[in-house]
């Protein structure tokens, strides 16, 4: 397995998480016009991370042997935490938006 694969997953997922947190901070400050563009960028980055993971899974399904390492485990952990965070951060942003409307 190319050692760059785990680094790609970590990089894309980490950048995605950072954009989500930026979006959350903007929502917290009431700057809702900045939230959607930041979250859209976060989702694009998350999609890239997920695509790298999917490519790895497809290769394994096609019989290519993938080497597992602590780095790959860390990459998977980072990706899954970012996916979970996406759901929770979206909910928090909605809470801030509803609070602004009242």
Annotated binding site: 77
Look up 47 and say whether it is catalytic.
no
Contacts of 25-33 with C-beta under 8 Å, sequence gap 24+, read: 27/92, 27/93, 27/96, 27/97, 28/96, 30/96, 30/100, 32/96, 32/97, 32/100
Which residue is catalytic, options 3, 29, 74, 94?
Answer: 74
Annotated binding-site residues for Mg(2+) read 77
Distance CA 87, CA 96 (A): 15
Q: What residues are labeled active site?
A: 74
């Amino acid at each position: 397995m190319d050692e760059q694969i785990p680094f790609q997953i970590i990089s894309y997922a980490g950048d995605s998480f950072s954009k989500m947190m930026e979006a959350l901070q903007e929502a917290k400050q009431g700057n809702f016009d900045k939230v959607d563009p930041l979250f859209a960028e976060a989702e694009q980055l998350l999609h890239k991370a997920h695509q790298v993971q999917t490519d790895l899974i497809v290769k394994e399904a096609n019989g290519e042997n993938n080497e597992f390492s602590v780095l790959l485990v860390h990459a998977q952990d980072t990706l899954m935490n970012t996916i979970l965070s996406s759901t929770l951060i979206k909910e928090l942003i909605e809470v801030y938006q509803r609070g602004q409307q009242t």
